[in-house]
Every structure is written in C-alpha cells, then in structure tokens.
Amino acid sequence: MAATGPERFSSAEPEPRSLSLGGHVGFDSLPDQLVSKSVTQGFSFNILCVGETGIGKSTLMNTLFNTTFETEEASHHEECVRLRPQTYDLQESNVQLKLTIVDAVGFGDQINKDESYRPIVDYIDAQFENYLQEELKIRRSLFDYHDTRIHVCLYFITPTGHSLKSLDLVTMKKLDSKVNIIPIIAKADTISKSELHKFKIKIMGELVSNGVQIYQFPTDDEAVAEINAVMNAHLPFAVVGSTEEVKVGNKLVRARQYPWGVVQVENENHCDFVKLREMLIRVNMEDLREQTHSRHYELYRRCKLEEMGFQDSDGDSQPFSLQETYEAKRKEFLSELQRKEEEMRQMFVNKVKETELELKEKERELHEKFEHLKRLHQEEKRKVEEKRRELEEETNAFNRRKAAVEALQSQALHATSQQPLRKDKDKKKASGWSSIYSVTIP
C-alpha cells in the first residue's frame, strides 16, 4: 500500500555525491547567460537625496551621472517636506539603466521640524508596499515590474564644521532600518582640510553614539573587500559638485573656479567625489540593490505579514501553511464579527430599556402634576362655592329686610290715609315713623 502524507518522504535528505565529468557539458556558461539576461532586461536604480534646500543635491547628481537632469530649484516656503521622484532612462555601452532620483523637497525649511522625517519614511514604505502587493498578486509580473524601492539614501550634511544637527540625527535614525544611508558632507570646498578631518571624526562619533546604522561597503567579497574596507574609513565622503568645465593645464576638467584657485571635482586631493562615484556606482551598486531587497524589504515584508497574522512556524517547527493561517484568520474574523453583533444587539436592548424607563418616569411625573392640579382645582371650587353660599345668604337677608321695610312703609301710608284731619298728631306720628324707619333700616 502506498504511504500517505508526510511519511511518504524521508526527512533526512541524502548527501549529494561529487562526480567528475567526462567532457565539456556547457553549464559553465550559466554566469554568461545570467549577464546576458540581465543586460537585456535592464536595471533600475533609485537614489533618494535628503538635504536642506540649496545644499547642492541636483548639482551632485548631474556631476555623478555626467549629464543634466532637468530639475527645478525648490522654494524655501514649502509647508512640509514633499518627495519628488523623477525617472530617467540612461544608457552606457549596451547597459540600460532606469534611474530614479527622489528629492526630499523643502527638507529643513519648516519652523517646526519634528515631523520632517515622516514623509520620507512614508514614501520609502509606500514603495515597499507596492512591491509587496505585486508579489502577493495571483498573476505577478515581477519580471517587468518597475521597482521603485529606494536603493540608497544620500544624506547631505551641511558643512558647518561643528557637529550634526538634531534634525540630521533624528532623520537618519528613522531611516536606517529602511534604506542604505550614505552620509556625505556637501559643498566640501567651503571647509578647510584640517577642519574637515575633525568634522568627519565628529560626525562618525555622533552617529555611533546615537546608534545610527549607516551603510557599510561590504567586505565579504574578496574582489572588493580591500577597497571597500579602505573606503569605509573615509566615510562620510566630503564632496564638491560642479558641471562647469575649467581648463587646468591643457585639460578641461569639471571644477569650481574661485578668485584664489580652482577646486577640481575629480581630484582626490581636493574632495572625495571620485570615492563616492566609485563606491556608489562602479563597485557597490549591485550590493545596494541586493541589500535593499534582502535586508530592508525583507524586514518590511516580515513585519507586514506578521501584522496580517502570518507566522513562519510554531514551537514544534511545523512548516508555515498559508491554508491553515487563512482558515484560522477566517475563524477569528467570524467570531469577532459574531461578538460585535452580540455586542450591538445588547447595546440596542439596553438602549430600549433605558428609553422605556425614561418614558415611565416622565409618565409618573405627568400623573403627579395632574393630581396636584386636580387638587388645586377642587380647593378653588370649594372656596368659590363657599363664597357663593355666603353671597346667597347675604342676598336673602337683604331681601328679607327689604320686604320688612316695604311692609312697614305700606302700613304707614295706610294709617295716614285713615286720619287726614288731625294734622298736629300726624306730624308727630310721621316723625315717629321716621324714627322707626331710621331704627329698622341699617
């Protein structure tokens, strides 16, 4: 019966055996095939220039590639740092290079520089993210993908001769795990030789004490180990840029001409421009590309995938399974969704209960108010009733008195009509009636 599952394969791989070939087979042409394929495909190289406005970034790029890239001057009034990428197709012999130069426009021009590094970090991350998204696609086209990941950051240091600014240290610290940083002292012709020597030592000391990791030229490849080791000791390179050609002896050289003399860009006694070009372009360009992929991008990719819940293996060193991780994530997502649903339902029930209680309370208050008003009304009614009774009694008493007076008046009139001749007596009686009248009527 055929074995199923992992038991089918033995975990211990057989040791490869060395055999000698009887004649020429031809796989020794693999490196040539690789070169030929790479040349056909072309290369891309992306440089990020970080340094304050007017420090000489564009001039140095023009000097390095011996051409004129069309760049415009940055204004000193940018509200925040802005990244401006420009891509050029260059060709030297039969090698095609897609060169992207990214300028950090407005760097160092803001009053508050706390967040100056952020747009730069975000830009670098965005390029990593684009590459990761391409890698994660079902239909990938990495072969002709325009790789925009930053391979090197040239950090332009102002030639103050004093020390690094805190902006330099903070920015380089934020960038050092994301990109290969090569620090360079710009406009090195403005600083004297002895000052420059001290300045370089000071800068390196500050970078080390602040834990800033700059790019070290690799010394593991024998062919370039020696020169790279020597060059590492020259960092940071002090450079001068110029596209102006000046006649020195009978040769035209790129230089900066001053009333007191000429600074030759490619003269190693004058500045480190040649060292920079050698290290950046002629010796370590491929290493910079590779370090970007294997170190910086790898770190970004790992963090991103871990954030998404993917992990290599657990404690038992089980191999990573995309299917299992996906299932686990799906379950996690569904239970989270259920929990959220239950939470919302509970919230709704509570809200209804709360509203019900509030309404009941309002109803009770209204009822109490009604009862109170009712009591007040009854009291008022009772008082009015009492008043009415009193008035009625008064009216009755008045009527009775009125009737009595009328009766007396009519009696008096009757008596007067019976004895008309006895005038003196009548007068007496009349005054007597009037006294009765005045006594009876209040």
Compute φ and ψ for 441, nearest 5 degrees. -85, 125
Contacts with Mg ion in 86-125 (CB under 5 A)? none
- Our CB check for ligand GTP shows the closer of 178 and 256 to be 256
Contact map string, positions 154 to 193, toward ligand GTP, x by CB under 6 A:
---------------------------------x-xx---
* Residue 57 lies near ligand GTP (rule: CB under 6 A): yes
Select from Mg ion, ligand GTP, none the partner in contact with residue 54, using the beta carbon and a kind-dependent cut-off of 5 to 8 Å.
Answer: ligand GTP
Instruction: Provide the token pair at 105.
Output: 């426009």
CB atoms within 10 A of CB 257: 14
* Residue 240 lies near ligand GTP (rule: CB under 6 A): yes
Q: How far is CA 357 from CA 14, 43, 274, 351, 360, in A?
A: 78, 73, 83, 10, 5
C-alpha span between 57 and 184 (Å, rounded): 11
Identified binder of Mg ion from the candidate list 44, 46, 58, 264, rule CB under 5 A: 58
* Residue 276 lies near ligand GTP (rule: CB under 6 A): no
C-alpha span between 47 and 367 (Å, rounded): 80
Strand 95-105 versus strand 82-92 pairing type: antiparallel
- Our CB check for ligand GTP shows the closer of 158 and 291 to be 158
Select from Mg ion, ligand GTP, none the partner in contact with residue 151, using the beta carbon and a kind-dependent cut-off of 5 to 8 Å.
Answer: none
* Residue 56 lies near ligand GTP (rule: CB under 6 A): yes
Instruction: State the minimum distance, in angstroms, from the CB of residue 53 to ligand GTP.
Output: 4
Three-state SS at 12: coil
C-alpha span between 384 and 402 (Å, rounded): 26
Span near ligand GTP by CB under 6 A; candidates 1-9, 49-57, 166-174, 196-204: 49-57
Sequence-ordered alpha helix ranges (H) in 280-321: 285-291, 298-307
* Residue 53 lies near Mg ion (rule: CB under 5 A): no
Residues near ligand GTP (CB under 6 A), total: 17
Contacts with ligand GTP in 94-133 (CB under 6 A)? 103
C-alpha span between 411 and 432 (Å, rounded): 13
- Among 208, 154, 207, 150, residue whose Cα is nearest residue 179: 150
User: Could you identify the residue written with the tokens 């239909």?
Assistant: 139
Span near Mg ion by CB under 5 A; candidates 14-22, 57-65, 261-269, 361-369: 57-65
C-alpha span between 174 and 116 (Å, rounded): 11
* Residue 59 lies near Mg ion (rule: CB under 5 A): no
- Our CB check for Mg ion shows the closer of 71 and 163 to be 71
Residues with Cβ within 8 Å of 323's Cβ and at least 6 positions away in sequence, in order, are none
* Residue 54 lies near ligand GTP (rule: CB under 6 A): yes
Q: Residues interacting with ligand GTP, by CB under 6 A?
A: 51, 53-59, 73-74, 103, 187, 189-190, 240-241, 256
Q: Residues interacting with Mg ion, by CB under 5 A?
A: 57-58, 71
